[in-house]
Structure 1
Amino acid sequence: MTNKTPKTEYDSPWKQMLQLYFQDFMQFFFPQAHAQIDWSRGFVFLDKELQQVVRDAELGKRLVDKLVKIYRIGGEESWLLIHVEVQSQEEDDFPKRMFVYNYRIFDRYDRSVASLAILGDDNIEWRPNQFGYDLFGCKVDFQFPVIKLLDY
């Protein structure tokens, strides 16, 4: 018997909180991004679109928390997809998964994507915030902001 709580038990309250308090969530955890969003134009949760992207990525049963369409200040009809990942347990492939979701969303919708991570694990040292590789002069360097709940 294991003492680990299933991922969905950690994620469900976060999903509800994000749905109900998205603007406050962004202001508290990601104030720089919050300041660049035109909140007067509203925002839309894209849960069905996200499910399609995850299925297309063929990554199995991996749940991403929320994908939100927002409008940036000064952006004429442009919009930005924000992918918020709440991670409660350490995973070696977490940075790669963040990268895969980011490029799949970009590929499918041809929109800029900000991938933001909330880490809820209990290892103060674990702070994955980039994925990349370099092969024959072709370089990929994907970096994303990480918030560690232990810091609060």
Structure 2
Amino acid sequence: MKHIDHDRLFKELIRTFFGEFMLLFFPAIHESIDYRHTTFLSEELYRDILEGEKNRVDLLIETKLKGEDGLIIVHIEPQS
């Protein structure tokens, strides 16, 4: 049986439909995001200091709020 890379497919869906994803799951926040300033960042590696495990952030998005100068970071970590 062929293995389907669900993680990769999910990431591609979010990259393609980020605005729609935010509208569906976070409608109140969706209205505040300025989607013209959306950047998908590379996977980040971090270490759990207490456990010593290496982990990767699945999807990290940098964007702005409408009318604001600062940036916000959206972290999406899908679980099966």
Using structure 1 for the length normalisation, give the TM-score: 0.43
Unaligned runs of 5+ in 2: none
- Name the counterpart of 2:33: 37
> Deviation string for 1:30-54 (max 9, x for gaps)?
1122111022x3200011xx42xx2
- Which structure exhibits the higher relative contact order, with contacts defined as CA atoms closer than 8 Å and separated by 6 or more residues? 2
Q: What is the Cα deviation at residue 74 of structure 1?
A: 2.1
Q: What is the Cα deviation at residue 13 of structure 1?
A: 1.3
C-alpha distance in structure 2 between counterparts of 1:64 and 1:11, whole Å: 12
- Superposed, 1:66-77 pairs within 5 Å as 66-76=59-69
Rg comparison, structure with higher value: 1
Q: How many residues align?
A: 74
| CA RMSD between the two structures | 2.1
Higher helix share: 1
Using structure 2 for the length normalisation, give the TM-score: 0.75
Unaligned runs of 5+ in 1: 1-5, 89-152
